Amino acid sequence: MSRFWNPAIEELSPYVPGEQPKQQDLIKLNTNEMPVGPSPRVLAALCDASDESLRLYPDPENSALRQAYAAQAGLEPCQVFVGNGSDEVLAHTFKALFQPSAPLLFPDITYSFYPVYSRFFRLECEVMALDENFCVVLDEYRRPNGGIIFPNPNAPTGIFTPLDDIAALLRGNRDTVVVVDEAYIDFGGQSAVSLIAEFPNLLVIQTLSKSRALAGLRVGVAFGHEALIEGLNRVKNSFNSYPLGQLAEAGAVAALADEEWFRNNCNTVIRNREKLCGQLQGQGFEVLPSAANFLFVRHPRHAADQLYQALRKRGILVRHFRQPRIENFLRITIGTAQQCEALVTTLEEIIVPAA
Ligand SMILES: *Cc1c(COP(=O)(O)O)cnc(C)c1O
């Protein structure tokens, strides 16, 4: 608190991201990054784009990248918006597309940036409880609202909500914007992009941070009806004309072009996830069904904060949320096969066999 601050920032409660440890030898399974580097074609494109043209401002419309995304999604470039990570795309969405006249609806257990943005943009919100199996119950979202947002698969549970449920929600909710945050869609879910033609109030947000192994590049995207994209552009152009630089755009275009790298690496994550799921269940963990690149688990005989500490002491970093309903869960990012093995072996030392 300082007398130099605008008083309004005193009431903000900023998002706290997962730790990025300085210690290099930790096995890092806490922020859902890919365990391998991006496509070599991305690195080559970044080198190629590093030339004297960096003296110029980049294309403010990021036309090349929007074109590439449009082609891949089967949409027009006017139905694509790109930003500096999907977090920035989300921020613009909160500002541009949610109505202050009724509460914004999102799950009680979800991506913790949603309540942060709600406060920042002074939007009233109503949290909707997940059911006893930690599923999003979209039936209950059919009530007066200023907008609806949820991740699919949900974070940090990993549970996927079927597209039929989303279509049913959209059929009954035509007057406000429904945002599906698909940060983890490439690990086994089905994208709602296919519903955009039918529902002009649907916005689908994705990112290169997870499935393309490019969290450090900061590229996110939104797909939706042209009018929604225009709204996002109005906010973006009132804030920063150039959120994506020349390097980010070149890297992103190259990433989208390498379909083979993408398929192979997503499939590896899925394979490692299914194996790890079975091994953790063998150790007595309850594992929520995941369609993401992480598992959300709890153990009937071990408190999550103690498991978190014990793993950390042994060089493995996972995520623990001190939050009602989930304080006894750990979120574990799917690492390489070797990292998953190391996790299982280390847990064997920690977990006391049932008497
Ligand atoms: C990781 C994540 C994001 C943010 O991704 P960036 O594109 O890196 O900003 C958005 N939503 C959810 C649910 C996420 O888990």
Question: DSSP of 207-270, one letter per residue?
Answer: ESSSTTS-TTT--EEEEE-HHHHHHHHHHHTTT-S-SS-HHHHHHHHHHHH-HHHHHHHHHHHH
Residue 93 in contact with ligand 1 by CB distance below 6 A: no
Q: Are 56 and 272 in contact (CB under 8 A)?
A: no
Cis previous bond, 21, omega within 30: no
Cβ 87 under 6 angstroms from ligand 1: yes
User: Which residue type is seen at 94?
Assistant: F
Is 189 touching ligand 1 by the criterion CB < 6 Å?
Answer: no
Ligand 1: centre distance to CA 53 (Å): 30
The Å distance, Cα 207 to ligand 1 centre, comes to 7
- Answer whether 183 contacts ligand 1 (Cβ < 6 A): yes
Inter-residue contact 319 to 292 (CB < 8 Å): no
Take residue 266 and report the two structure tokens written for it.
Answer: 């997503």
| pLDDT in the model for residue 311 | 97
pLDDT of 355 reads: 63
3-class secondary-structure state, position 86: helix
Residue nearest to ligand 1 atom 14, measured at CA: 183
What's the count of helices (H) and strands (E) in the chain, helices before strands? Answer: 10, 13
- Gap from CA of 316 to ligand 1 centroid (Å): 22
Q: Is 220 in the pocket of ligand 1 (CB under 6 A)?
A: yes
What are 24-44's pLDDT values in tens digits?
Answer: 789 999 999 999 999 999 999
Q: Dihedral angle at the C-alpha atoms of 163, 166, 172, 174, nearest 10 degrees?
A: -110
Phi, psi of 289 (to 5 degrees): -65, 120
Residue 284: count of CB within 10 angstroms of its CB: 15
| 5 to 11, 116, 121, 122, 338: CA distances (angstroms) | 11, 19, 18, 18, 48
Cα of 52 from ligand 1 centre, angstroms: 32
Residue with tokens 């079975």: 278
Asked whether 215 lines ligand 1 (CB < 6 A), one says: yes
- Please answer whether residues 339 and 347 qualify as being in contact, where contact means their C-beta atoms are separated by less than 8 angstroms: no
Nearest CA residue ID for atom 2, ligand 1? 183
Q: φ and ψ at 222, to 5 degrees?
A: -125, 140
Residue among 260, 269, 319 nearest 112 (CA)? 319
* Cβ pair 210, 186 in contact under 8 A: yes
**15-26: buried (b, 16+ CB within 10 Å) or exposed (e) per residue?**
eeebeeeeeeee
Segments of the chain with pLDDT less than 50? none
Q: Whose CA is nearest to atom 15 of ligand 1?
A: 183
Whole-angstrom Cα distance, residue 110 to residue 151?
A: 7
CA 186 / ligand 1 centre spacing (Å): 13
* Side-chain-side CA neighbours of residue 114 (13 Å): 25
Whole-structure pTM value = 0.97
Please tell me the distance between residue 97's alpha carbon and the centre of ligand 1 in angstroms. Answer: 19
Q: What is the pLDDT of residue 18?
A: 81
DSSP state for residue 302 in the 8-state scheme:
B
Taking each helix axis as running N to C, give the angle between helix 337-350 and helix 304-313, from 0 to 180 degrees, rounded to the nearest 10.
110
Backbone angles phi, psi at 197, to 5 degrees: -60, -35
Tokens 């590093």, residue located: 50
pLDDT digits (tens, 9 = 90+) for 44-59: 999 999 999 999 999 9
Neighbours of 197 (CB within 10 A): 12
Tokens of 108: 């009680």
C-alpha 83 – ligand 1 centre gap (Å): 12
